[in-house]
Structure 1
Amino acid sequence: MPGLRSFSLFRLLIAAAAILLAFVLWSALGSRDDGTARYRTAAVDRGQLQLAISATGALRALSTVDVGSQVSGQVKSVEVDFNQRVQAGQVIARIDPATFEARLNQARADLASARAALEEAIANRRNAEADYVRKRELAERRLIAGSELDLALAARDQARARVGSAEAAVLQRQAAVANAELDLRHTELRSPVDGVVLNRAVEPGQTVAASFQTPVLFQIAEDLSQMLIELSVDESDVGQLRAGQPVRFTVDAFPGREFAGQVKQVRLSATNTQNVITYPVIVAVDNPDGSLLPGMTANAEIEVSRREGVLRVPIAALRYRPADAPEPPAGAMRVGGSELAAAIPAMVAPLNLDASQRAALDADLAAMRERMQQRRTAAAGQAAGPAVPGGGPGGGVMIVAGAGNGAPSPEAIQQAILRRVLEGFAGFRASLDEARRAAFDQALREHLSARRATLWRLQYGKPVPVPVRVGASDSRHAEVQGEGLSEGDLVIVGEELAG
């Protein structure tokens, strides 16, 4: 039946066209901008946080020696060139010695003359002494007048004085000869150290004048396999630096390569540049292949601390707040006992506690939870009043900066809370050695002084506030801790209008 088949094909074409039209209309309506928000999210994860301080500085050799000339004259020859390795004592330049050789010859002639004069003075002294002896004998026998004996005694004393003067003249001429010999030796400039010639500021035929100050003719780096970086670090960051901290840096000559060093010294000589205070920080660098050169600019990052396996979120998540969300109270911060109890296991994890130390910790935690329960029971049915500092590790304290004139500062309240918390863990702290006790105290201090913030978690398509404690942060992530927040949760980092 041809007619029936044609009718069926026509119906199929009509149905297909209707479906296509419905799809086009649905797409057009669905793509209209209805002004609803679309959230950009990121997952809460665990990873590494590396806190680093950025700074720039210049590379230089461990020791750079400026070599100059102690005598004036015309440079006769230059024996070394740029980048040439030299040994200690090696001649690197010569100054024309003719003038100094002439001075030495003259000084030697003066010395010979002085020695001859000394011999003459000694001979005259012998003659004067012999004459005095003869006349003394004659005077004793009253054969000569006493005045003649006096003249002989004076002549003897004068002869002895002339000998002393002649001896001093000889010493003077010897010093002049030694000085002339020294000046002659100084016409040969020698390297004082083993190293590499960084700079050569002299050419053959050039006249060197060393009358007022020693001119610098060569600059020699003692050892380029070990180098230094002198970084300029802002005063706000220098308090975090310690000798031995690792440093990573790059140089423009090798943009794809990263070099390593460590902090050697934090110097106290501050520099004030347009009211900006910086301190020099010296970084020791190994340079076994000689790729790093003096004067290169180093862009460095000093690793202050590194934390592994922390719960972290992008920095943008801490900045996001829905438009209709109320402003958080200025300076408000909640220090809760339950939050502290939940955070203690993470604090002590790096301490590698033994069984007795863990038992002491469990006992103190149990006592803290018991105090928390007692306070909740005592507070039941009573109107909530303002909490006071020192409520102990079992309760919670609300700190509001600027609560009124005479109110304690947040810092003072934090110190009071810290003291009470440390008292609550006295048994556990007594079981620790000094290093572990200091680490535990520091972890408590960081926990109590940490900033509080609100994250917005995406739940069933709606933002839900989650209070968190913000810990360490780097340029991309921040450590967070909070009840109800776990790895894999989606937090909102921004929003955009649906297009």
Structure 2
Amino acid sequence: MRQSQLPLLALFLFGCVEEQSSVPSYNTASLERASINVSVGSTGIVEPLAIIEVKSKASGEILELFIETGDLVEEGDLLVHIDPRTVRNRLAQSEAGLKAAVSRRQISQTQMMRAEVLVKNGTFTEIEHEKAMLELANAEAQVISSEVEVENARIAVEDTDVRAPITGTVIAKPAEKGQVISSPTQDFAGGTVLMSMADLSAVQIRALIDETDIGKVRSGMKAEITVAAFPNQPFLGDVNKIEPKAVVEQNVTMFAVLMSIQNPEGLLMPGMNAEVEISIAARENVLSLPIMALRTDRDIPTTAGLLGLVESDLRREILADSGRQTTNLTDGTDTETVLLGGRSVELPTGTDTGRIRTIMTKRRAGEALSREEEEFVRGALSSGRSPSRPVRADGMTRGAPGADSGTDYRFGGDFWVVVQEVNGNIRTANVRAGITDLDRVEIVSGLDESDTVLILPSAHLVETQQELQQAISRRIGSVIPGLGNSGSTPGSGSGMTGGGMGGGMR
């Protein structure tokens, strides 16, 4: 008899434990003043702004190389000396041809003067006079041609001394002393590269940014660069350019972003790997909440189950709260805000918000709207201001061009939260969120600084747990102790308990 009572006692105790453990408790969070910074991170490579390939216009053997890789040279410094014998011989030949051309011109001038006298005396015919004129013209043309050849030969001699085209650093030197090189002006292959130079007083970082973040980046944004060689010495740069053509690596679409950075000490060298953080937006001393406190429409059924509420009542409470007057926490102004077309819209002063809510309730119920009602809602949408770009105290739109974020990316959106009041009752509140660093989120409007909100498990978390429980139950045919039943709530912690919900929704 005593043995038969033990299983009953165990079942009773287990039932008590189950009943006690079914009372949920959730963490709470208060609004806090915080600074929120949004940035985009990536890795990149240090590159010169421009690489100059140094070639020689002269062909021949390299007699002297005056520099080595890594040398810093000034513009005009002598770099390479090429065998000048061939071009000097060509210069001497051109100078001799010029002297002969000058002599022929002098003879032609004398013959022309004699022909003019003979024509006047009638000894020369007009045809012979014209021949003398032609000889003089050909002699003058030969002189000019010879002068050009001499000038070109002198330039060719000067080209045997290769000088630095810019002030910079020699970053590569493939040519060596004794090598015979070809000129790019004579070789169809482009000639021999003697060395490569770059001005490293300023460099650029080429980083690949994921396509999900590229919409936030704009030219002119500040970037912080860190390299492994100087881990405790960050470098500051600016975004110069976003290349329009995508780069696909391992099925991931990215875009190249170029950032310029001053390098007066030459610490950054081409090829270094760099960690890049591009500052997108920042808010100082703003009201914020943990991002896990925000709820969406997808969370309504889950939240109703977690709090023991009727889903339709919770949904009605959220819709009703969306039509209440909200206060912008940034500038303290009052605005009439309602949900239209799935987004919050600040309506102009004097708009019949009650009628708007009635029409939207009718639409959600699947009823057809009259033509007048459709025109009324359309007019409210066109004249209202969407707070998806919240207004700052200075009148500028957050996230709009000219705002302090420097980007026209639209941050934030409209959410709702569960507020726990001092007496233990709970209520919902529609809030407008600003920027987030994925830890805390800026609260632009909808809450007071003294409010406390519940941090509830998300719909995805609850659904995942339920799917896991169902999968295990199908395998073993029973409910696993500790996982509870389909109404169990994950993520329990300190804070509000089941007894605190006795007041229900207010």
Correspondence 1:74-473 to 2 at 5 A: 74-134=61-121, 136=122, 149-150=124-125, 153-210=126-183, 211-212=187-188, 213-222=190-199, 224-266=200-242, 269-271=244-246, 273=248, 278-318=254-294, 324-325=305-306, 334=319, 336=321, 340-343=325-328, 346-348=329-331, 387-388=358-359, 417=380, 419-421=382-384, 436-439=394-397, 450-454=413-417, 468-473=431-436
How far off its partner does 1:260 sit?
Answer: 1.7
What is the root-mean-square deviation of aligned Cα atoms in Å? 5.0
How far off its partner does 1:113 sit?
Answer: 1.8
Measured in 2, the distance between the counterparts of 1:41 and 1:415 equals 42
Give the letter for the 2:195 counterpart: F
Measured in 1, the distance between the counterparts of 2:159 and 2:53 equals 16
Q: 1:491 matched to which residue of 2?
A: 455
Measured in 2, the distance between the counterparts of 1:318 and 1:107 equals 87
How far off its partner does 1:189 sit?
Answer: 0.9
Q: 1:73 matched to which residue of 2?
A: 60
Query: Would the alpha carbon gap of residues 462 and 288 (structure 1) be closer, same or farther in structure 2, given more than 3 Å must change?
Result: farther
Measured in 2, the distance between the counterparts of 1:33 and 1:131 equals 140
How far off its partner does 1:105 sit?
Answer: 1.2
Query: Would the alpha carbon gap of residues 369 and 87 (structure 1) be closer, same or farther in structure 2, given more than 3 Å must change?
Result: closer
Give the letter for the 1:472 counterpart: I
CA contact (8 A) 2:289 2:441 kept: yes
Deviations 1:395-417 (A, max 9, x none): xx8996x9699999xxx999865
TM-score normalised by structure 2 residue count = 0.64
Whether 1:47 and 2:58 are equivalent positions in the alignment is no
Measured in 2, the distance between the counterparts of 1:158 and 1:369 equals 97
Query: Would the alpha carbon gap of residues 348 and 468 (structure 1) be closer, same or farther in structure 2, given more than 3 Å must change?
Result: closer
Of 40-49 and 206-215, more deviation after overlay is shown by 40-49
Give the letter for the 2:246 counterpart: T
Q: 1:20 matched to which residue of 2?
A: none
Measured in 2, the distance between the counterparts of 1:304 and 1:128 equals 88
Q: Rg larger in 1 or in 2?
A: 1
Of 84-93 and 252-261, more deviation after overlay is shown by 252-261
Deviations 1:111-170 (A, max 9, x none): 122222222222332333333333x2xxxxxxxxxxx642xx322221221111111111
Deviations 1:187-241 (A, max 9, x none): 111111222222222111112122121433222222x333322344445544433
How far off its partner does 1:33 sit?
Answer: 9.1
Measured in 2, the distance between the counterparts of 1:413 and 1:311 equals 35
TM-score normalised by structure 1 residue count = 0.65
Whether 1:474 and 2:437 are equivalent positions in the alignment is yes
Measured in 2, the distance between the counterparts of 1:496 and 1:165 equals 102
Number of equivalences: 408
Deviations 1:428-487 (A, max 9, x none): x9xx9xx944438969x9999823244587999999876644432223222345448846
Helix, strand or coil at the partner of 2:106? helix
Deviations 1:359-384 (A, max 9, x none): xx67999xx99969x977xx9xxxxx
Query: Would the alpha carbon gap of residues 149 and 202 (structure 1) be closer, same or farther in structure 2, given more than 3 Å must change?
Result: closer
Measured in 1, the distance between the counterparts of 2:110 and 2:430 equals 110
Measured in 1, the distance between the counterparts of 2:204 and 2:376 equals 44
Measured in 2, the distance between the counterparts of 1:237 and 1:42 equals 31
Measured in 1, the distance between the counterparts of 2:379 and 2:37 equals 31
Q: 1:358 matched to which residue of 2?
A: none
How far off its partner does 1:496 sit?
Answer: 6.0
How far off its partner does 1:173 sit?
Answer: 1.2
Give the letter for the 2:397 counterpart: A
Give the letter for the 2:132 counterpart: A
Measured in 2, the distance between the counterparts of 1:405 and 1:235 equals 41
Give the letter for the 2:227 counterpart: V
Query: Would the alpha carbon gap of residues 202 and 323 (structure 1) be closer, same or farther in structure 2, given more than 3 Å must change?
Result: farther
CA contact (8 A) 1:59 1:295 kept: yes
Helix, strand or coil at the partner of 2:276? strand
Identical aligned pairs, as a percentage? 24
How far off its partner does 1:104 sit?
Answer: 1.1
Query: Would the alpha carbon gap of residues 309 and 187 (structure 1) be closer, same or farther in structure 2, given more than 3 Å must change?
Result: same
How far off its partner does 1:318 sit?
Answer: 4.6
Q: 2:485 matched to which residue of 1?
A: none
CA contact (8 A) 1:84 1:196 kept: yes
Give the letter for the 1:88 counterpart: E
Helix, strand or coil at the partner of 1:388? helix
Query: Would the alpha carbon gap of residues 117 and 446 (structure 1) be closer, same or farther in structure 2, given more than 3 Å must change?
Result: closer
Query: Would the alpha carbon gap of residues 333 and 231 (structure 1) be closer, same or farther in structure 2, given more than 3 Å must change?
Result: farther
Query: Would the alpha carbon gap of residues 440 and 286 (structure 1) be closer, same or farther in structure 2, given more than 3 Å must change?
Result: closer
How far off its partner does 1:40 sit?
Answer: 7.4
Helix, strand or coil at the partner of 2:225? strand
Measured in 2, the distance between the counterparts of 1:407 and 1:177 equals 93
